[in-house]
């Protein structure tokens, strides 16, 4: 049974690799474009939270027009990070605990109404913070998302997550072919934003790999900005004792938003790499 699972996963990966061989990135956005970045800033080491390093990771290529954050610390560290980033508009979840608590949307564009959405969870918390942005006179719904982690999460002395080959294989198989709590979460999120009546951006830490049933469900309605492109295979979670880093961070856009360029940025002050995209509103 394990052997068949291994062959199936290898076959899927091979087909995807062949299908990606022709993919290239398009040029940067021209006039009327805007940039977006998602970044899970949590699990920083060493403590205290490295505000300056985190801000540098975000601002290195210029301040993104829209910034989706997850696991933002509270208290003084949050205030210092927001000051370092210098955004004129910011929305943060009001929840005091769980993954909703660390969600933020920062923007160079005005922010209107906001909504916090609690999502199905196995007990660690899962949610989305959605904010309506006014981008050059058009409303856009921008949601920062954080879904449940995949079990087990055991760390070694260096703080890396440790998966045995058997655990990794079982986890990937379950993500590919089973309805998990993450699948239930994106179904609830999709229903909550389905009738927004405006372009939609969903960005954040989905805690699952690109070919999972969860991501396939989202991709049926929204576009993964890294597809097609070599970045589709690039890992975003790097604090793991395993030969390959999984990609678990995404930016999804609705049909009325075009993608000019997107990439994973291999820099971090915590355990995730950010994803950045050059976008443009389309008719």
Residue ranges per domain, the chain?
A: 2-281
Tell me, yes or no, if the pTM score tops 0.95: no
Predicted local distance difference test score (pLDDT) of residue 45: 60
pLDDT interval class at 263 (50, 70, 90):
very high
Give me the chain's average pLDDT, please. 87
Predicted local distance difference test score (pLDDT) of residue 29: 42
pLDDT interval class at 154 (50, 70, 90):
confident
Res. 179: pLDDT tops 80: yes
Predicted local distance difference test score (pLDDT) of residue 5: 52
Res. 171: pLDDT tops 90: no
Res. 21: pLDDT tops 50: no
pLDDT interval class at 124 (50, 70, 90):
confident
pLDDT interval class at 95 (50, 70, 90):
confident
Q: What are phi and psi of 85, to 5 degrees?
A: -80, -35
Res. 143: pLDDT tops 90: yes
Predicted local distance difference test score (pLDDT) of residue 31: 56
Predicted local distance difference test score (pLDDT) of residue 181: 96
Q: Please state which of the ranges 30-44, 83-97, 168-182, 206-220 shows the lowest mean pLDDT.
A: 30-44
Res. 130: pLDDT tops 50: yes
pLDDT interval class at 105 (50, 70, 90):
very high
pLDDT interval class at 44 (50, 70, 90):
low
Res. 194: pLDDT tops 70: yes
Residue matched to tokens 């801000």: 55
Paired residues of 143 in beta bridges:
130, 202
Paired residues of 92 in beta bridges:
104
Predicted local distance difference test score (pLDDT) of residue 18: 36
Rounded to whole angstroms, the Cα distance separating 46 from 41 reads: 13
On whether the 2-281 domain is CATH 3.60.10.10, my answer is yes
């Amino acid at each position: 049974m394990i052997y068949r699972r291994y062959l199936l996963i290898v076959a899927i990966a091979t087909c995807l690799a062949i299908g990606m061989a022709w993919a290239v990135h398009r040029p940067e956005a021209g006039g009327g474009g805007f940039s977006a970045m998602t970044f899970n800033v949590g699990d920083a080491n060493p403590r205290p939270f490295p505000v300056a390093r985190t801000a540098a990771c975000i601002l290195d290529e210029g301040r993104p027009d829209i910034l989706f954050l997850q696991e933002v610390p509270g208290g003084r560290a949050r205030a210092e990070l927001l000051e370092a980033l210098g955004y004129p508009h910011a929305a943060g979840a009001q929840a005091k605990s769980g993954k909703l608590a660390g969600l933020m949307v920062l923007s160079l564009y005005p922010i209107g109404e906001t909504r916090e959405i609690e999502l199905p969870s196995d007990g660690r918390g899962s949610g989305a913070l959605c904010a309506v942005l006014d981008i050059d006179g058009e409303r856009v719904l921008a949601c920062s998302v954080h879904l449940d982690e995949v079990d087990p999460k055991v760390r070694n002395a260096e703080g890396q997550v440790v998966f045995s080959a058997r655990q990794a294989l079982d986890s990937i198989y379950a993500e590919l072919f089973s309805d998990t709590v993450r699948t239930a979460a994106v179904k609830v999120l999709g229903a909550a934003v389905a009738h927004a009546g405006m372009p939609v951006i969903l960005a954040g830490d989905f805690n699952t790999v690109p070919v999972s049933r969860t991501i396939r469900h989202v991709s049926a309605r929204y576009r993964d900005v890294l597809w097609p492109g070599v970045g589709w295979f690039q890992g975003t979670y790097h604090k793991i004792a395993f030969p390959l880093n999984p990609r678990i961070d995404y930016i999804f856009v609705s049909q009325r938003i075009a993608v000019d360029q997107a990439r994973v940025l291999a820099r971090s002050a915590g355990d995730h790499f950010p994803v950045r995209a050059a976008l443009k509103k389309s008719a």
